Amino acid sequence: MTSLEFTSQVQRISLTLRPAALNLTRDADDAKDLVQETLLKALLNKDKFKAGTNLKAWLYTIMRNTFINNYNKITKRSSNIDSTEYFQYFNTDQNYITHNGATSDFVVRDINEAIASLGTDYRTPFMMYYIGYKYLEIAEKLQIPIGTVKNRIHIARKDLKAALQVYAPVGASAADASDAVED
The stretch 155-177 carries a mean pLDDT of 77
The stretch 53-75 carries a mean pLDDT of 90
pTM for this prediction: 0.44
Considering only residues 63 and 167, tell me which one the structure prediction assigns the higher pLDDT.
Answer: 63
Q: What is the pLDDT of residue 92?
A: 54
Q: What is the pLDDT of residue 87?
A: 52
Question: What is the residue-averaged pLDDT of the chain?
Answer: 82
Q: For CATH 1.10.10.10, list the domain ranges present in the chain.
A: 94-169
Q: Does domain 1-81 have CATH number 1.50.10.10?
A: no
Q: What is the pLDDT of residue 95?
A: 53
What percentage of the chain exceeds 90 in pLDDT? Answer: 42
* pLDDT confidence band for 150 (50 / 70 / 90): very high
Q: What are the DSSP calls for the chain, one per residue? A: --HHHHHHHHHHHHHHHHHHHHHHHSSHHHHHHHHHHHHHHHHHTGGGSPTTS-HHHHHHHHHHHHHHHHHHHHHHHHT----HHHHHT----GGG----HHHHHHHHHHHHHHHHHS-HHHHHHHHHHHHT--HHHHHHHHTS-HHHHHHHHHHHHHHHHHHTGGGSPTT--HHHHHHHHH-
Q: Which fold has domain 94-169?
A: Arc Repressor Mutant, subunit A (1.10.10)
Q: For CATH 1.10.1740.10, list the domain ranges present in the chain.
A: 1-81
